[in-house]
Amino acid sequence: NLRNSVSVVVKVALDGISFTTTLTELRKFVVYSVQVLAYTRLGDGALSTPPVRVQTFEDAPGAPSNVSFPDVSLTTARIIWDVPEEPNGQILAYRVNYHLQATGSLNFSREFVPSDRTYRAAELEPEQYYLFSVTAQTRLGWGKVAHALVYTTNNRETPQPPSAPQLSRSQVQAQQITFSWTPGRDGFAPLRYYTVQLAEGVGPWVSIQERVDPGVTSYTATALKPYTSYRFRIQATNDIGPSGWSVESSQVRTLPAAPSKEVSDVKVVPITTTSVRVEWQAIPEDYWSGDTETGGYRILFQPVSDFPTSLQATPKQEVKGIKTTQVVLTDLTRDRNYEIVVVPYNSQGSGPAAPPVAVYVGEAVPTGQPRGVVAEPVSSTEVRLRWQPPQQRDQNGDLLGYKIFYLATELAQDLSPEDKVEEELEVVPASYTSYSLVFLDKFTQYRIQILAFNPAGDGPRSTPVSVKTLQGLPGPPSDLRFSEITMTSLLVSWDPPKKRNGELIGYIVTYETAEQNERFSKQVKQKVSDTSLLVQTLEEEVTYTFTVRAQTI
């Protein structure tokens, strides 16, 4: 990681038995954070911790940046500059030289402290080109020189726009386009840089961050999308400011390329003792880089060994069509572990390979489903299941057990928006042909499926059966409230229970005096079918306690 801008660089050490490597092409006088990880064919391991921090050595600096002349007259010119983009150490000083371009003899040389990055040159000859040079110094010496030309005049102006970018078909590739242009007049202020903008299709203009050297008249736009239309335009900038934008180029399309995305969700299922079915998610059309007609998938497979062969030498099977999602590999060697890789391809080349998937060939998943599945409710929270194993010829080896999937499809209770109904799973041994699901929800419809599995994996699920648990006692009504209260009557209301647990037939409302005394006491129970009751003939200034219970069949 860099000190100022975070940039991650990866170096791969292919030799798995080496524990040293040399990092090259690093920036000078920069603090790096270094971590190491190990990887196998199946992916990357964890990064080493803590990161090791190391700083590269100091060196002479690069050239000062952004040299320009904001103020120029017939006899003066003020120069300004910025810190070098590659300081390579602590800047100690700057030095400015200048001379008439025509003579080449040195007129002036002066050094400045690091905080001074401007100087006004006086007593210059009018209407002449002067060549200025600026260099920086670190502890290890003077660095590279930045040169800048200036013309002494009172009539500077912004430059004319360059010509429209000229595109040649021979300079168009899948991910880059090269174009050229003719500069306009510089406005008596030498150009400092060009700015390039591009537009994808009919989309908006986007500036390329790189400043193009004013001495060149061609540029290569990189990191473009394959088989995509682009337009370009250019702007020139001198010390006065930017020109207008050039006329935009004609629209040109990059060439097709190999697929840019790997397949996902690769699964391998043994279907016989010598064959497997490979399944994957098809790549969306946008990632085929413009060549969908010749697209397809290449399945590479080989037995796992201590000395695996390269992908190019691995046996393979190809399937045409970008929407294909499976293939069956046959005539494999029994009792071997295979490694299988799926690679998208088209006529332009191969895309990135998916991580390899390992599978044991010699045992196949059951091809038959459990038979005669019957579900019967035993109580409000229990269901009894019975079934028969798959046909012997469909078991493909010894069964390890059964997986029972059950999902509530009709509930006898109200769920909040946050609650989700999810399918649940229970696993039982292969010797079982009956089983009880317990702790189920009351008076709830369930959808149940069973599958058999063996060491190779899961077989198909059985046809769904539906069963409803029996009714149970309902939960309490909610939100009990009172209204229309007078000296001798009131209206009591409530909401149905959140857990009905059956078919509600009514409610029992009980009310009684809160304190028992000799003067007056009362207890009343009343059945109602609605969710409210008008209670009358109450005693004045007496406190009553109300309870409401729901009833099911």
Walk me through the domains of the chain, giving residue ranges and CATH numbers.
5-55 (no CATH), 64-152 (2.60.40.10), 166-253 (2.60.40.10), 264-361 (2.60.40.10), 371-468 (2.60.40.10), 478-552 (2.60.40.10)
Q: Give the pair of three-digit tokens for residue 232.
A: 């370009």
Q: Which amino acid is at 441?
A: D
Q: Does 18 score more than 80 pLDDT? A: no
pLDDT at 1: 40
Q: Cα(474)–Cα(495) distance, rounded to whole angstroms?
A: 13
Alpha carbon of 390 to those of 31, 401, 426: distances in Å? 66, 12, 18
**Tokens 């207008």 correspond to what residue?**
244
Q: Does 176 score more than 70 pLDDT? A: yes
Q: Does 211 score more than 50 pLDDT? A: yes
3-state secondary structure 297-311: EEEEEEECCCCCCCH
Radius of gyration of the chain (CA): 41
pLDDT at 3: 39
Cis peptide before 303 (omega within 30 of 0): no
User: pLDDT for 277-331, tens place per residue?
Assistant: 999 999 999 999 999 999 999 999 998 876 666 655 678 899 999 999 999 999 9
The mean pLDDT of the chain is: 90
pLDDT at 80: 96
pLDDT at 16: 67
Q: Which amino acid is at 60?
A: A
Burial 299-326 (b: 16+ CB within 10 A, else e): bbbbeeeeeeeeeeebeeeeeeebeeee
Segment 488-515 mean pLDDT: 89
pLDDT at 305: 77
DSSP 387-416: EEPPPGGGT-S---EEEEEEEEEE-SBPPP
pLDDT at 308: 61
Confirm if 196 and 241 have CB atoms less than 8 A apart: no
Q: Does 407 score more than 70 pLDDT? A: yes
The lowest-confidence range among 31-40, 404-413, 510-519 is 510-519
Q: Cα(190)–Cα(236) distance, rounded to whole angstroms?
A: 10
Segment 421-443 mean pLDDT: 93
Of 344-353, 407-416, 502-511, highest mean pLDDT: 344-353
Look at phi and psi of residue 433 and say left if phi exceeds 0, alpha if psi is from -120 to 50, else beta.
alpha
What's the whole-model pTM score? 0.63
User: pLDDT for 121-169, tens place per residue?
Assistant: 999 999 999 999 999 999 999 999 999 999 999 999 999 999 999 998 8
**CB-count burial class (<10 Å; 0-12, 13-18, 19+) for 443:** buried
Look at phi and psi of residue 239 and say left if phi exceeds 0, alpha if psi is from -120 to 50, else beta.
alpha
pLDDT at 44: 84
Q: Does 7 score more than 80 pLDDT? A: no
pLDDT at 263: 96
**CB-count burial class (<10 Å; 0-12, 13-18, 19+) for 77:** buried
pLDDT at 2: 41
pLDDT at 370: 96
Q: Does 426 score more than 70 pLDDT? A: yes
Q: Does 173 score more than 50 pLDDT? A: yes
pLDDT at 286: 92
Segment 175-180 mean pLDDT: 96
Q: Does 473 score more than 70 pLDDT? A: yes
Confidence bin at 15 (pLDDT 50/70/90): low
